[in-house]
Structure 1
Amino acid sequence: MSFFSNYLNIALIAIAVVSGVMLAWPTIMRRGHGVSAADATQMINRRNAVVVDLRSTDEFSKGHLPQARSVPFETLSEKAAQVSKNKSAPVLLVCQTGQRARKAEQVLTEAGYAEVYTLQGGIEAWQTAGMPVVK
């Protein structure tokens, strides 16, 4: 019990616990099914994921992922049934920074799609990773 009575040992334990929580925090706070640009590429190539771009048509025309379908976020609720014929196929949601995609993930999940993913960081992260963009 003398180990716990030494204040230096208690401080070291506290530092270890706090640093462990800080390392695990991004994983704990990650909600939904976010994927990186590299994982998204594998999903598109190997699993034929349906890519849905949630940005406005103006933003879409400035550059988008190859084979992406434009379904603006504002119209997603009405067009949810038309996103993919096969609701068990993976769906990858893309927007500018990832914010709209996280909201849209819930809409498509409620519409019955089994696998809905969001591109972490959106099109900005895609371009930063050096991935191709079609205009």
Structure 2
Amino acid sequence: MKSSKRVSLHFSLLSILATGLMLFNQVSVAKDVSTQEAWNIISTGTTIIDVRTAEEFAAGHIEGAINIPFEQIVNGVEKIGLKNDASIVLYCRSGRRSGLADEALIQAGFTHSVNAGGYEALATTKP
């Protein structure tokens, strides 16, 4: 292969890689927030969603929270009429399931959801 063709091939590959990285960079990622940040968001009148099971929710939950199990989050928020730009605070027992729910919402085009972590931490820091 001639030197100029090799340089052209390398340049083309680098261009493809750079384009891919720019596209990846524009994809939203889940946002975890501290309990204090979560309460600040909640104080603005956001939708609070508990993504634990119905049994866990029945045993105790944040006042005003809606229970939508994490596996059903996208269909659940659409069913209750939330738009893609709705402000949503998610929580579960430890933050794992709410993180998965946050990722699912982001993939579905929601732009203002956050993972507040675990119920106990959130409940014990309520202002």
Q: Which runs of 5+ in 2 are unaligned?
A: 1-28
1:30-55, CA deviations, whole angstroms, 9 ceiling, x for partnerless residues?
Answer: x7311122211110112x21111100
- Which residue in 2 is equivalent to 1:125? 121
What is the percent sequence identity of the aligned residues? Answer: 28
Contact 1:105 1:117 (8 Å CA) reproduced: yes
Contact 1:50 1:84 (8 Å CA) reproduced: no
Paired residue secondary structure (2:48): strand
| In 1, Cα distance between equivalents of 2:63 and 2:104 | 23
- Which residue in 1 is equivalent to 2:25? none
Calculate the aligned-residue CA RMSD, in Å: 2.0
Q: What is the aligned counterpart of 1:74 among 62, 71, 83? A: 71
Distance change in 2, residues 1:50/1:81 (3 Å) = same
1:15-44, CA deviations, whole angstroms, 9 ceiling, x for partnerless residues?
Answer: xxxxxxxxxxxxxxxx73111222111101
After TM superposition, the runs of 4+ consecutive aligned structure 1 residues lying more than 6 A away are none
| In 2, Cα distance between equivalents of 1:76 and 1:53 | 10
| In 2, Cα distance between equivalents of 1:106 and 1:116 | 9
Contact 1:52 1:83 (8 Å CA) reproduced: no
1:124 Cα deviation (Å)?
Answer: 2.1
1:82-101 alignment to 2 at 5 Å? 82-101=79-98
Contact 1:53 1:70 (8 Å CA) reproduced: yes
Taking structure 2 as the reference length, what is the TM-score of the superposition? 0.68
Q: Which moved more, 1:34-43 or 1:50-59?
A: 34-43
| In 2, Cα distance between equivalents of 1:77 and 1:87 | 10
Give 2:35's aligned amino acid: A
Distance change in 2, residues 1:73/1:85 (3 Å) = closer
Distance change in 2, residues 1:108/1:83 (3 Å) = farther
Paired residue secondary structure (1:112): coil
- Which residue in 1 is equivalent to 2:61? 64
Taking structure 1 as the reference length, what is the TM-score of the superposition? 0.64
Contact 1:81 1:111 (8 Å CA) reproduced: no
